[in-house]
Every structure is written in structure tokens, then in C-alpha cells.
Amino acid sequence: MTVSVSHLSAVEMTDLFRRRELSPVEALTATLARIEEVNPKINAIYHIDRDGALAQAKASELRWRDGAPLGWLDGVPTTIKDALETNGLPAHRGSAAGSGVIHSSDHPTVARMRDSGAVIVGKNTMCDYGILAAGVSSYHGVTRNPWDLSKTTGASSSGASASVCAGIEPVSIGTDIVGSIRLPASYCGLVGHKPSYGRVPYYFQGSPVLVAGPLARSITDVALHMNVLTGADARDFSALPRDGVDYVAELDRFDPAGKRALVITELGIGEPVAEDVANAIVRAGEALRGQGVHVDRLDTVPFERGEWEPAELFYMVRTLSELSQHPDAEQRKTPVIYDWTRRALELTALDHHANFFATQLLRERTLNLIKGYDFLILPSTPDTAFDAELPGSDPTRIFESWANTFLLNLTEQPGSNVPMGLDRNGLPIGVQIIGQRYDDVGVLGLSHVLEQAVGRLTPPKL
């Protein structure tokens, strides 16, 4: 092996496979070594399938030798989020409640990865039931941020984000029901794309806001991953057709000139935005103006802080319904979720509908923000990463950490997190680029323009 595999992009890795300067087996060997080196520090990977991954890598090596790769990610090592069914591998959904399961089939996104030839090395960690904004899990423990091991990765795609950030893998699948792609991408200095609802198939599709999408260190790798993940699946009634888009090619075709963007430094619905974050959002707007984008700034604050509370109660009921599938003694093994969901037991059906209705009104008001514009530019998170052991930036208001992201799940709009430098403490700041519904091509295109204008973050050293 003549190259260092850690922190190679997927595009670079497959190019080296093509030129026979690196083999998939060598890439896997380096990945396993990287896991041994850094995983004890960050706790991102909880299960490794060495034999299965080696068989996949050997098969990929033969395909590259014959000049017949299966797809865009043939031979690229990756791990799969605990939430996603993976044939033959264990899953816990981050919770100590229940004994876990071994799945006998693949989630649609995992199937797409296999079909593309990706080498599935194992499973990565997540928080309990995907609802905490922190990398804390009653089953997996604490997953830590490679930028600062005392800080959180964010969640629920905590292990995926930490693993990509630490150079274990170039791309990983995140899932996002309230912000679980964009929030950890922001905290870990990654690019993360929440696709339009239905753009990437999901089974079982149990919520009209739930999506899966890419996490990577560059927009190009995210676009490459979108080429793999998108398209209809017979199991998912919400899945949109593939429509022949090459997301990588579209990056260079995107012309920012004349596009209209609205900069919102403060939504107002959650905790106040930190000064360093607000300044970074303004800089992002100026950088895009320099590329020909017409940029306005919203001078008013569109929401009030407590308006997220009906949505919290709505999602609380959803989480309680999953937790309640277990006996009380098992439920208590996930104490943060157990305590948080007690309030939901007091809600009536009328209360639940009222909270749903209030959430729908938030959806309408949020979607109205983009009227007259092609894009919104706003913070992905109000502040940078908080302490790793906490369940949220404010442990007494754990849902509030989602305030800048969950609104855009309600609207089904596509959105990417793009790193926008570091704050005064050396932690990554994320800018969120939101587009019109179904305009994933535009969001990725403008994200690419911003990435090129401000530069990519140099990965942290562990």
C-alpha cells in the first residue's frame, strides 16, 4: 500500500482503486487499524464484522481487477447506523431496554450500499431512540467528538459522524427525524445532507418527517453518496423516482448567479444563537454574495423561544409508544428517555391532537419563510458542541437543541450543513442551507459554492 487511507475521500479512494494504486482489501485493513487506534477514544463503532467485510473487500478487489466495479462506492469501507436494519448484524436503537435483535434483511439504504459494492465493516452508535441531541446512549455509552473528546458529537447519527470525522470511513448513512444529520454534522465539522422527504427510500416509513441521507467530509462525497442512495423502493410508499440525476455532475453545472437567498441569524424558537455562530452565518451570506447570489437578511425574529414545546410533546408521545413496548423494568434501563416521557402519560388524545395541530402551524409558518427566495441561510445549531455527557445543551430542556433543525423536517425541505470555520474555542460551526421542496440539486449546488468559497476544514488530529 503506497498511500495513507485515513481521511481519503470516497472519490479519491475509488480513483486509486481504478488506477490500482490501492486495493479494497488494503483499504479495509487500514480501516480496521484506524478503528483500533481511535475507537477507544471516541466510541463510535460498537460491532465489527471482520469476516464479512473481508469477503466483501476481496470480491470488490476482483471486480476492480476486471474493470467492472458494481457502482459508485465499490470497495469503499463504511459502517451502518444502529437504527438501520443490516442483514446478520445486531441492532439496539441505542437503548438498553430490550435485548436487541439480529436483522435478517437490509434497510433500503443499506441495500443500496451493497448494490454499489460498498464494504460494510460493522455498525455505529446512536443515542436512545434517535431523539436526543447528544451522543449519549443507555446501551452504547458516550460517543465523543474528535475535535474535543470532552464535547458531544450530537445525535442521533453520533457514531456515523464521529467515525467520518475521525477518518475511519469517508461516507456514512445518517437518519434525520428532527435534525440527526445536520446537528451532528455541525458539531463534528462535516457536510451532512437531509434530503427532501421521499428522495431516499426508507422502510418502515413511520413518520412524514423521517429521512436518511449522507454524511461526509466534502460536498462531492455527499453528492456521490446521493447517487447511490436515491430512487424508488417498492417497500417505501413515499419514495420518489430516481429521475436520472447525477448529483456529482450537477455540482459543476450549478450557477449561483441570480439566485436569491435569505440569511436568518436568529430563528428565536430555541436557545439564543451564540455570537460566533451568528457572525459565521453573516460571513456565509457575504461569501455567497461574492459568488453572485442576491442575499437579503431577515431583520425580525420569526418565532418565540417556547414555540417548540407542542412539537416536543408530539415527539414525546412517539418515543413513549416505542419505549412502552417493553416491561417497566426494561424501560427504566434508559433513564433519560424514561424520565423525559413521563409527561406524555398525562396527555389526552385531545392534547395530542392539539399538539399535532400546533406543529402543523409551525410547519406552515416555516415554509412561508422561503417565499420569494431560492434558499435560506441559517445556523444549523444555535451554538457549538456542548459537554459530551449531557443529553442536551440544557439538560432540563433536552428537545430545545433541535430548534434550528426540526422545523425543516416538518416542511420536507432539503437542507445541508456546511462547515463555516471554528468558534473561539476551536469547535466547528455549521451553516444550514435550505432549499425549496425537492430542490436537492440546488441545495447541494449552493453548498458546493460555499464550500469552495470558504474552504474545507482540516480534520482534527486524534
Query: Measured between alpha carbons, how far is 105 from 402 in angstroms, rounded to an integer?
Result: 31
Please tell me the distance from the alpha carbon of residue 341 to that of residue 323, in angstroms, as a whole number: 9
Helix (H, G, I), strand (E, B) or coil at 54: helix
Q: What is the pLDDT of residue 2?
A: 46
Residues in the chain predicted with pLDDT less than 70, given as ranges, are: 1-3
Q: How far apart are CA 339 and CA 343, in angstroms?
A: 8
Residue 3: per-residue pLDDT: 61
Q: Which structural domains are found in the chain, ordered by start? A: 10-308+347-454 (3.90.1300.10)
